[in-house]
Amino acid sequence: MQLRRVVVTGIGTINPIGNNVPAFFKSLDEGKSGASPITCFDCSLFKTQFACQVLDFDMTAYGFSKKDANKNDRYSQMALVAAREAVLDSGMDLESVNKDRIGVLVTSGVGGLETFVGEIEKNDPAQPPRYSPYLIPKLITDIAAGHISIQYGFRGPNFGLTAACSSSAMSIAVGAQFIQLGKADAMLVGGSETAVLPVGVGGFNAMHALSTRNDDPAAASRPFDRDRDGFVLGEGAGVLMLEDYEKAVARGARIYAEVAGYGLSADAYHFTAPDPEGRGAAQAMRLAMEDARISPAEVDYINTHGTSTHHGDIAETKAIREVFGKYASVPSVTSTKSMTGHLLGAAAAIEAIACIHSLCDGLIPPTINFCEEDPDIDYNLHFVFNKAESRRVNVAISNSFGFGGHNACLVFKRV
Report the catalytic residues: 165, 305, 342
* C-alpha distance across the termini of the chain, in Å: 22
> What residue type is assigned to position 163 of the chain?
A
How far apart, in whole angstroms, are the C-alpha atoms of residue 235 and residue 14? 9
Closest CA to 314 of 366, 379, 262: 379
How far apart, in whole angstroms, are the C-alpha atoms of residue 14 and residue 101? 27
How far apart, in whole angstroms, are the C-alpha atoms of residue 55 and residue 337? 18
Helices (H) and strands (E) in the chain, counts: 13, 14
Measured in whole angstroms, how far is the alpha carbon of residue 26 from the centre of its chain? 18
How many CB atoms neighbour CB 389 within 10 A?
17
Instruction: Name the burial class of residue 329, with classes exposed (0-12), middle (13-18) and buried (19+) by CB atoms within 10 angstroms of its CB.
Output: middle
Burial pattern 70-83, b for ≥16 Cβ within 10 A else e, equals ebbbbbbbbbbbbb
CB 79 within 8 A of CB 235: no
Closest CA to 11 of 29, 27, 24, 28: 24
How are beta strands 257-266 and 406-413 bridged, if at all? Answer: antiparallel
How far apart, in whole angstroms, are the C-alpha atoms of residue 247 and residue 402? 34
Cα–Cα distances (Å) from 401 to 121, 163, 279, 348, 364, in that order, read 32, 9, 12, 9, 21
Cα–Cα distances (Å) from 283 to 265, 280, 361, in that order, read 6, 5, 29
Q: What are phi and psi of 134, to 5 degrees?
A: -85, -5
Cα–Cα distances (Å) from 407 to 208, 273, 317, in that order, read 22, 12, 15
Secondary structure element (H or E) that encloses residue 332, with its range: strand 332-334
